[in-house]
Amino acid sequence: MNLPNMQEARLRTDALVEVIEAKNIKSDRFKNKKYFIRTYGCQMNVHDSEEIKGILENLGFKETLEVQDADLVVLNTCAIRENAHDKVFGFLGRLKHLKKDKPDLIICVGGCMPQEESVANLLKEKYPFVNIVFGTHNINDLGTLILEESKKQLIEVYSIEGNVYEHMDYVRDSKFTAWVNIMYGCDKFCTYCIVPFTRGKQRSRKMAEIIKEVEKLKEEGYLEVTLLGQNVNAYGKDLDSDYDFATLLENVAKTGIKRVRFVTSHPWDFTDEMINVIAGFENIMPYIHLPLQSGSSKILKLMGRRYTQEEYIALYNKIKSKIKNVSITTDIIVGFPNETDEDFAETLKVVNECKFDGAFTFIYSPREGTPASKIKDTIPLEVKEQRLYKLNELINSYSLEHNKKYIGKTEEVLVLGPSEKGEDKVYGYTKTMKLVNVSNAKDDIGKLILVYITDAKSFSLDGEKVIFAKN
Ligand code: SF4
């Protein structure tokens, strides 16, 4: 067993990364068997689960959405917040009972949590009914581990970063929109973040491989790709090449795929070239997620974010002025250690100035092993909750203000599926990533249609499909 060591992870910045052809092991040993997968956390995990599904289906498994029908269960875990841990351990309790009735059930726990040494040890000591434990760096080995599985618990978690695997078989969740990983890991080491430890140092894929993947997706009928990475605009910095994220984005746009998105950007790496490319291509969507985290320069420094309040606002204004109709969302953490009322007021000040289209807001939660977890946290939970409440009220008011401007306009929407807002409705997204519930479009799933916006709420729009009269 090879477990992560936080100090080692920091030092191993020049470990050799190889590009390797994925194993894609095929077998019919598990023909007629079913798997159930539960994914926690970010888009990166969602896409990892598409890879895991590809591995399982190559072994003969078919997916079931009912855990009690499964012969194999995979929990693809997240380490970003404490409550993500709690959810996984809660679900494992349920699986323990299920295994009493189904002793041959194979339980696998993978993803970010086992990359933490304490979690891997806990699974070994307290959860012996878990058959296979794997990490983020060896997802590609899951097929081999399942074929090797015996009654003994198998733990295989690598602290060293994984290689970059190409040509993997994915089972994608959508037939119209696809995630495309452009890089793995992150070198930023924001002081609160566990990602550089659980996902390792930055490893970019070669541009030619990414373009090939996008071209294939386009041929298969996909209308939208989202380029995925922890810090996409640092793409290429680890490669011995002269291309960067702006070059990649331009080349992806030139494939002619209808819609190109990317997530997530770090303000530090946001270049003028990127802004020009986004502004210059119709098929690069005018939507940017630009994490702020805090509006206080003092807190930003403690977070290791490498920009000040003034620099963030200047970048925000530059993007707004150069990219037509762009919508910008953000992430904000409240209650970071040492955040005073004045620091929080600075965050509100930035929100009032930027008037974001939306935000993911969180109360700070220390992650073991990160530098920030060593800073004494003296802010009472009640104060943190009050700050979060106040922030959300402000954010929601600006979201509503932005959304109301869409009423009476006609927007292009990519329809993705049935809406939760009524049987006669479908849902989809505008170019600016606004969720729209659409009437009269039940036959348009998987299509780009024009929608007349009739109403707006803080988190969504309502609209009707525009039907052109025949002459
Ligand atoms: S840039 Fe994002 S993923 Fe990287 S360390 Fe900072 S918060 Fe974590």
Q: What is the 3-state secondary structure (H, E, C) of the chain?
A: CCCCCHHHHHHHHHCCCCEEECCCCCCCCCCCCEEEEEECCCHHHHHHHHHHHHHHHHCCCEECCCHHHCCEEEEEECCCCHHHHHHHHHHHHHHHHHHHHCCCCEEEEEECHHHCHHHHHHHHHHCCCCCEEECCCCHHHHHHHHHHCCCCCEEECCCCCCCEEECCCCCCCCCCEEEEECEECCCCCCCCCCHHHHCCCCEECCHHHHHHHHHHHHHCCCCEEEEECCCHHHCCCCCCCCCCHHHHHHHHHHCCCCEEEEECCCHHHCCHHHHHHHHHCCCECCEEECCCECCCHHHHHHHCCCCCHHHHHHHHHHHHHHCCCCEEEEEEEECCCCCCHHHHHHHHHHHHHHCCCEEEEEECCCCCCCHHHHCCCCCCHHHHHHHHHHHHHHHHHHHHHHHHCCCCCEEEEEEEEECCCCCCEEEEEECCCCEEEEECCHHHCCCEEEEEEEEECCCCEEEEECCCCCC
Distance 325 CA to ligand 1 centre (A): 27
Within this chain, do residues 37 and 96 fall inside the same structural domain, yes or no? yes
At 471 the pLDDT is 55
- Pocket test of ligand 1: the residue of 187, 264, 266 to mutate, having most ligand atoms within 8 Å of its CB, is 266
Token look-up 């502004």 returns: 279
- Is the C-beta atom of 266 inside 6 A of ligand 1? yes
For residue 422, the enclosing domain spans 410-465
Distance 305 CA to ligand 1 centre (A): 9
**Residue bearing the CA closest to ligand 1, atom 8:** 193
Question: Which among 245, 269, 285 is the end of a domain?
Answer: 285
> What CATH number does residue 461 fall under?
2.40.50
Question: Which among 106, 130, 156 is the end of a domain?
Answer: 156
Distance 195 CA to ligand 1 centre (A): 6
Cβ count near 129 (within 10 Å): 15
Full-model pTM: 0.90
> What CATH number does residue 93 fall under?
3.40.50.12160
Distance 266 CA to ligand 1 centre (A): 8
- Is the C-beta atom of 190 inside 6 A of ligand 1? yes
- Is the C-beta atom of 79 inside 6 A of ligand 1? no
Within this chain, do residues 301 and 277 fall inside the same structural domain, yes or no? no
User: Is the CA virtual torsion 164, 165, 171, 174 positive or negative?
Assistant: positive
**Residue bearing the CA closest to ligand 1, atom 6:** 190
Do the domain assignments include residue 294?
Answer: yes
The number of distinct structural domains making up the chain is 4
Distance 448 CA to ligand 1 centre (A): 33
Distance 113 CA to ligand 1 centre (A): 17
Centroid of chain to Cα 48: 10
Do the domain assignments include residue 430?
Answer: yes
Within this chain, do residues 108 and 35 fall inside the same structural domain, yes or no? yes
Do the domain assignments include residue 161?
Answer: no
Within this chain, do residues 115 and 242 fall inside the same structural domain, yes or no? no
At 301 the pLDDT is 97
Centroid of chain to Cα 17: 23
Do the domain assignments include residue 163?
Answer: no
Within this chain, do residues 123 and 145 fall inside the same structural domain, yes or no? yes
Return averaged pLDDT per consecutive 10 residues of the chain, 471 residues in all.
Answer: 39 56 82 95 93 96 97 93 86 95 94 88 92 91 87 77 80 96 93 90 93 97 97 93 95 98 95 97 98 98 97 98 97 97 98 98 92 92 97 98 98 96 93 97 95 97 87 55
Within this chain, do residues 180 and 84 fall inside the same structural domain, yes or no? no
Q: Show the CA angle centred on residue 319, arms to residues 218 and 411, nearest 5°.
A: 50
Within this chain, do residues 195 and 57 fall inside the same structural domain, yes or no? no
Within this chain, do residues 395 and 425 fall inside the same structural domain, yes or no? no
- Is the C-beta atom of 55 inside 6 A of ligand 1? no
**Residue bearing the CA closest to ligand 1, atom 1:** 188
Q: Are 246 and 280 spatial neighbours (Cβ–Cβ below 8 Å)?
A: no
At 151 the pLDDT is 66
- Is the C-beta atom of 303 inside 6 A of ligand 1? no
Within this chain, do residues 189 and 278 fall inside the same structural domain, yes or no? yes
Distance 350 CA to ligand 1 centre (A): 21
Within this chain, do residues 54 and 150 fall inside the same structural domain, yes or no? yes
Within this chain, do residues 13 and 148 fall inside the same structural domain, yes or no? yes
- Pocket test of ligand 1: the residue of 188, 191, 360, 370 to mutate, having most ligand atoms within 8 Å of its CB, is 188
Residue 446 region by backbone torsions, left for phi larger than 0, else alpha for psi between -120 and 50, else beta: left
Distance 124 CA to ligand 1 centre (A): 29
Within this chain, do residues 332 and 393 fall inside the same structural domain, yes or no? yes
Burial letters for 413-445: b for 16+ Cβ neighbours within 10 Å, e otherwise? bbbbeebeeeeebbbbbbbbbbbbbbbbbeebb
Centroid of chain to Cα 69: 28
